[in-house]
Amino acid sequence: MMELEYSFAQTPWEAYLSTLQAGDTVYAGKMLALLEGESTDALEDAFRSLEEGCMNLSVEDLPRPAIAGESGLRLRREAELVKAGLSPEKLEEGDPLRLYLEEVAGLPVCGDEHLLAERCASGDDSAREPLTNLGLSRVIQLAGAYTGFGVLLMDLIQEGNLGLWEAVQSYSGGDYLALRDRLIRFYMAKVVTVSAWDAGVGQKIRQAMEDYRAVDQRLLGELGRNPNLEEIAEQMHMSPETTRTVKKMLSDANTLERMARAAQPEETPEEADQPVENTALFQMRQRIQELLSVLDEEDGKLLTLRFGLEGGLPLSPEETGNRLGMTPEEVLAREAAALASLRNS
């Protein structure tokens, strides 16, 4: 009989979510980068974990795509309408969005949402419809914040309505309005994230992270010091704001990888006795160790941490400073002096 092997190791996105708690915010771009190469089932599992964990989903770090053709024209038109207040009269007669806005505007708005929510929680099904109707205008209001990400307003509103209905159905006490707004936003952020997933945003973010790492290392060699954000942004042909986002994602990814390595079992004596391959990387590390011998112990330790010379991942100035009891500024100053000393040795 065939024996099946099961792996219980956490994937990168699972490891990340395990560090969070209720009320924390997850950024969609970062999540997609962690999910790169995973299946759509994994994406749905991530959404489910976020929702069940009462976490927030933000799309602020997702790119705003430039879409051509009729779809692009419609999306830009909707963004303009939102900025102008989303008045139905500015849409053509017979436009589905206009018809919907007019329908919602015609619904009665009487009733107290808190009282209706308490009635729903106590099992009064007659309160569900008026409570839902009172929330429809709030869905429209919140949908405006999600325009510009390639999803039509009617699609955003439909997803937001699902979040509203989930709030009505699941409310069991507490602040109903906070629950309502969180779930409306979550469902709209989810459809925007799925659209970005379909467009391959996760892969693009991964590539941007690799490009950042390569540019950072190249400029370090050329300048003899850590390049600043503006210098890296210029080389990557990105805005400083976008580059800062990529840097933060890369730092978070490095942290997760260190956590994963720490969780791995130590190597067995048999594995430890295996010969090290005489690769170019190994030879380079050997040469670096020889160069470090001319420095004092603290400077050598500083460079070892900063560049991951003992097989670990490179640490940021902040992380290195925490290890050595220095400020990030002191780390950068000593690093520059140590590198200069090595170049002159």
In DSSP notation, 45-68 reads HHHHHHHHTT-EEE-TTS------
Domain ranges of the chain: 69-198, 201-260, 279-344
Task: Evaluate whether 201-260 and 279-344 have a shared fold.
Answer: yes
pLDDT for res 56: 95
Burial (CB count within 10 angstroms: exposed 0-12, middle 13-18, buried 19+), residue 301: middle
Question: What does DSSP assign to residue 41?
Answer: H
Longest Cα–Cα distance of the chain, Å, equals 83
Helix (H) or strand (E) holding 26: strand 25-27
Distance in angstroms (rounded) separating the CA atoms of residues 253 and 23: 21
Helix (H) or strand (E) holding 228: none
Question: What does DSSP assign to residue 35?
Answer: T
201-260: CATH, from 2.30.30, 1.10.10, 1.20.120, 1.10.3470: 1.10.10
Question: What does DSSP assign to residue 296?
Answer: -
Q: Looking at domain 279-344, which CATH architecture does it have? A: Orthogonal Bundle (1.10)
| Listed residue (51, 57, 102, 96) closest to 78, CA to CA | 96
pLDDT for res 50: 93
| Listed residue (189, 134, 191) closest to 165, CA to CA | 134
Query: Is 104 within 8 Å of 140 (Cβ atoms)?
Result: yes
pLDDT by residue for the chain (345 residues), tens only, comes to 334 344 445 777 888 888 888 999 999 988 888 888 888 899 999 999 999 999 999 999 888 887 878 888 998 999 999 998 888 888 898 889 999 999 999 988 778 999 999 999 999 999 999 999 999 999 999 999 999 899 999 999 999 999 999 999 999 999 999 999 999 999 999 999 999 998 887 777 777 777 888 888 888 888 878 888 888 888 888 788 778 877 876 776 666 555 555 544 554 555 444 444 444 445 545 556 666 777 788 888 887 787 766 655 667 777 788 888 888 888 888 887 877 776 666
Alpha-carbon torsion (251, 252, 257, 260), positive or negative:
positive
Amino acid at the residue 124? D
Query: Is 137 within 8 Å of 180 (Cβ atoms)?
Result: no
User: How many residues in total does the chain contain?
Assistant: 345
Q: Which two tokens stand for residue 174?
A: 């507490």
Locate the DSSP E strands across 136-249: none
pLDDT for res 64: 83
C-beta neighbour count of 320 within 10 angstroms? 24
pTM: 0.65
Distance in angstroms (rounded) separating the CA atoms of residues 157 and 185: 10
Give alpha helix (H) positions in the chain: 12-17, 28-34, 40-52, 69-83, 96-105, 113-121, 128-143, 153-170, 176-198, 201-223, 229-236, 240-263, 269-272, 280-292, 297-307, 317-324, 328-344
Contact partners, residue 290, CB within 8 Å, separation at least 6: none
| Listed residue (153, 20, 155, 5) closest to 76, CA to CA | 153
C-beta neighbour count of 329 within 10 angstroms? 10
Would you call 2 helix, strand, or coil by DSSP? coil
pLDDT for res 101: 92
Q: In whole angstroms, how large is the CA radius of gyration of the chain? A: 26
